[in-house]
Structure 1
Amino acid sequence: MSYFTPNTTNTLKLAALAAATMLALSACNQGGDNASAQKGTEQEAPAPLVGVVTVQPQNITLSTELPGRLESRRIADILPQVGGIIKKRLFQEGSYVRAGQPLYQIDDAVYTTALENARAQLASAQSALAKANADLSRYKPLVEADAISKQEYDAAVAAKRSAEASVKAARAGINAAQINVNYSRITAPISGYIGQSFVSEGTLVSPGGPSKLATIQQTDPMYVNVTQSAAEVMQLRQDIADGKMQSVNGGVEIEIKLENGTLYPLKGRLLFADPTVDQTTGQVTLRAEVPNPDNILLPGLYVRVVLPQADIPNAFAVPQQAVTRGESNSVMIVNAENSLEPRQVNVVQQQGNNWIISDGLQAGDKVVVNGLSIVGMSGAKKVTPQEWTAPGSEAPAPTDMNNTASDTEITSDDADQAASTAQ
């Protein structure tokens, strides 16, 4: 038995249909609100970050690194000037010797004997001269009194002159013998460091022999000879003539980089530049002088010479990754509206990790270093510039939380993380 009448059943169906309709409308309204909220969120997304450097003009000295080898200022090969047996070596190999310091002693018995013989000859000549003077003194009044002939007097005069010549020859013989005795004791001709000895005690040496006994090198200061392309020199002079660069004044200081890349603490100076171009290599030779008081630099050592060549006033140093190289070099800057703006620049030279730019930038320009790939993926028209810090450099002190985004710093790692987040 049914407790509901047909009218009651119809009423229930209508109520159920109305409730379903209300639920459907509520779901549609909620979906529409979510879509509107999502669209608003997309419109309010922040501008992507880009790392920038704010450039300022400065006077930059252009320099070039040229390869070269160190050379002793003076080199002296020790050679015997008399023959004989080496009796003793009087120095320590590798030590510093001073000019005049004894190095070797040659057996001088023969030379001392020759010296004594020369001295005896001098005594004999002096005795003959004394007799000739006495004879001449006696003959002079006799010839005036015609007691002796003129011929005898002339013979006495000739005997005196001969005795005087013999004395001079004997003295010269003593000097020659003394020189040989002195040469038997070989001394250092210059001050410097002496290398290994190529002879030992008991070795027979002779003047003009094929081998040297040792070598002394003066290493303070040192010379370094370098060469530079004549084309580079001509281009530099042309830039100076055109006013793009200013010539460095005289007394140019140079720096030395050792093989391991470290910088030698003492600066040298450029001595001269050869005005003649080598016809074979097209190079110009330059010579510099470097102080070496502690004997750190060694002859024959390969080094690189950092040679300043010209000054560029009002130039800009920009990280290499910020410059797009090609037929026309360009950078991307962030303008006052926080939009990206390309700028053509004139690149002069590389200096470390930077390009030196002479034209195309102004003081305060914010040059983009990284983050352009993020902007390209997002398609954003505005960016948020943040100061960029080179990898490995000391991080700046934390800034106040009220500072704007442009006052903070961004590194290469920050940019990579931001790119991953965007993807």
Structure 2
Amino acid sequence: MTATSKRRVWIATFVVVLVAAGLGTWYWLGSKSSEAQGARKGPAPIPVVTAKVESRDVPVKLRANGNVVALQSVEIRPQVTSTVRAIHFTEGQSVKAGELLFSLDARADEANMRKAQAQVEKDKADLLTATRDFERQKELFNQKFISQAALDVAQNKVDTLRGQIAVDQAAADSARVAVGYSEIRATFAGRTGVVSVRPGSLVQPSSPPLVTVTQVNPIQVSFTLPEKELAGLRGAMVAGAIEVSVLLEGGGAPLKGKLTFLDNAVDTTTGTIRVKAEFSNDQGRLWPGMYVNVELAPRTIVGGSVVPVQAVQTGPDNRFIYVVGEDRKVTQKTVTLALVDGSIAVIEGVSPGQRIVVEGTQNLRTGTSVVEADRAGAPAKSGGKGKAP
């Protein structure tokens, strides 16, 4: 190869190296410029879902587990020792007040009652005779044919028979009461339970109850509420009836009743107070011993600040929310939780109309820029500022 050819090869190699170095320098400067621009722009806004704080009246709903109890229940027992003659109802039957339930053997008591009544009639006849004798003795005394002592004897006989009539009349009344014990009647309207005897059974006052009668309409639901609700309950009861709803496990429309009883002491063990509500039970949907869900609203928070419950965050020392400013940056704000009811929370510490972060709070800090996102998590397309609900 000649000297001229070698010079041309070296010149071509130098040109290629120079071009490569220029391209490398250009690429390196361009990447630095991009990094500098990215640094000036800062981190990208975090997509979040926001909502405005609403102001409205919120009823404070209290929920509890209740137990259905009868207004009254009585164990039917005999008051005398006797034998069951007849049973006038069937097990599980509804009975009216005063309806005859059992008939006991009362033949001996009826005989004693007739004997006592006959004795009263005899005493009345003896008194009538003694009264006539006294009148005759009195005429004789006025005519000076008998002494005062004889007249006093006749008077004493009349007085004695009058007292004897009172005694025998009381005995007759006692016998009549004993006969009345042979008929056992329902003291109130209710439903009968299991009958433990049959006709011919010997019963006595110390025997097990013949049957239990329970009033099922109206009926009560007993439950407990926290003692902190005592003031609100008392105030609401003074103002008027408090409506109580009962939800049954089988579904259907809730039953409506009213609060009728507030216990006179707080249970120091549980910190709760016992209350009762009364319900009409025409359809028999409530039965003594059932467990039901109870709901009532004794008071209302007027003009409360309402937010979605997921917007309230819990920190190590307090609860807080993220408020979105006009510059689309968030600020952490401490709040007080007044009420949680399903999907909403009533809080104190924010003003109605302020926009808060509902979803996407995981990576937020005070000063973080945010952008509105749709529910699927992608940023909403609305000119870069996002669209609030």
Structure 2 residue identity aligned to 1:287: V
Residue-by-residue CA offset, 1:62-104 (whole Å, 9 max, x unaligned): 3433444332212222111222111111112222211110000
- Residue 247 to residue 102, structure 1, CA distance change in 2 (3 Å): closer
Structure 2 residue identity aligned to 1:331: I
Structure 2 residue identity aligned to 1:217: T
Match in the other structure for 2:387? 406
Instruction: Count residues in correspondence.
Output: 379
Other structure's SS at 1:94 match: coil
- Residue 228 to residue 372, structure 1, CA distance change in 2 (3 Å): closer
| Equivalent residue for 1:366, pick from 355, 378, 385 | 355
Other structure's SS at 2:116 match: helix
| Equivalent residue for 2:68, pick from 60, 66, 70 | 70
1:270 deviation in Å? 4.2
Residue-by-residue CA offset, 1:207-256 (whole Å, 9 max, x unaligned): x31411111122333334444455x35xx86xx9xxxxx96462352534
Structure 2 distance, partners of 1:134, 1:247, is 75
Alignment of 1:62-211 (within 5 A): 62-206=60-204, 208-211=205-208
1:308 deviation in Å? 3.9
Structure 2 distance, partners of 1:49, 1:261, is 44
- Residue 50 to residue 261, structure 1, CA distance change in 2 (3 Å): farther
Q: TM-score, normalised by structure 1?
A: 0.72
Residue-by-residue CA offset, 1:257-280 (whole Å, 9 max, x unaligned): 457396842132143341x4445x
Residue-by-residue CA offset, 1:328-384 (whole Å, 9 max, x unaligned): 211123333333332221112322233321x222212222221345879xx982302
Structure 2 residue identity aligned to 1:288: K
Cα contact 2:329–2:368 (8 A) shared by 1: no
Structure 1 residue identity aligned to 2:244: E
Cα contact 2:46–2:369 (8 A) shared by 1: no
Structure 2 residue identity aligned to 1:219: V
Structure 2 distance, partners of 1:368, 1:191, is 60
Other structure's SS at 2:327 match: coil
Residue-by-residue CA offset, 1:184-210 (whole Å, 9 max, x unaligned): 11100111122111222111112x314
Match in the other structure for 1:290? 278
Structure 2 residue identity aligned to 1:265: L
Cα contact 1:82–1:183 (8 A) shared by 2: yes
Other structure's SS at 1:128 match: helix
Cα contact 1:61–1:311 (8 A) shared by 2: yes
- Residue 303 to residue 314, structure 1, CA distance change in 2 (3 Å): same
Match in the other structure for 1:392? none
The answer to whether 1:339 aligns with 2:329 is yes
Which moves more between the two structures, 289-298 or 251-260?
A: 251-260
Structure 2 distance, partners of 1:258, 1:268, is 14
Cα contact 1:122–1:171 (8 A) shared by 2: yes
Match in the other structure for 2:369? 381
| Equivalent residue for 1:217, pick from 201, 214, 218 | 214
Structure 1 distance, partners of 2:212, 2:273, is 27
Gap runs ≥5 in structure 1? 1-5, 241-245, 390-400, 409-423
| Equivalent residue for 2:289, pick from 272, 294, 300 | 300
| Equivalent residue for 2:257, pick from 244, 267, 272 | 267
Other structure's SS at 1:220 match: coil
Match in the other structure for 1:320? 309
Cα contact 1:191–1:218 (8 A) shared by 2: yes
Provide the alpha-carbon RMSD of the alignment. Answer: 4.7
- Residue 181 to residue 347, structure 1, CA distance change in 2 (3 Å): same
Structure 1 distance, partners of 2:371, 2:122, is 110
Gap runs ≥5 in structure 2? 377-381
1:322 deviation in Å? 1.5
The answer to whether 1:55 aligns with 2:53 is yes
- Residue 86 to residue 295, structure 1, CA distance change in 2 (3 Å): same
Other structure's SS at 2:176 match: helix
Residue-by-residue CA offset, 1:23-50 (whole Å, 9 max, x unaligned): x99xx99xx9xx99xx99xx9x996542
- Residue 347 to residue 407, structure 1, CA distance change in 2 (3 Å): closer
Structure 1 distance, partners of 2:305, 2:196, is 58
Structure 2 distance, partners of 1:338, 1:248, is 44
Structure 2 distance, partners of 1:52, 1:299, is 49
Cα contact 1:255–1:264 (8 A) shared by 2: no
Cα contact 1:340–1:382 (8 A) shared by 2: yes
Structure 2 distance, partners of 1:270, 1:255, is 10
Q: TM-score, normalised by structure 2?
A: 0.77
1:283 deviation in Å? 3.7
Identity within the alignment, %: 24
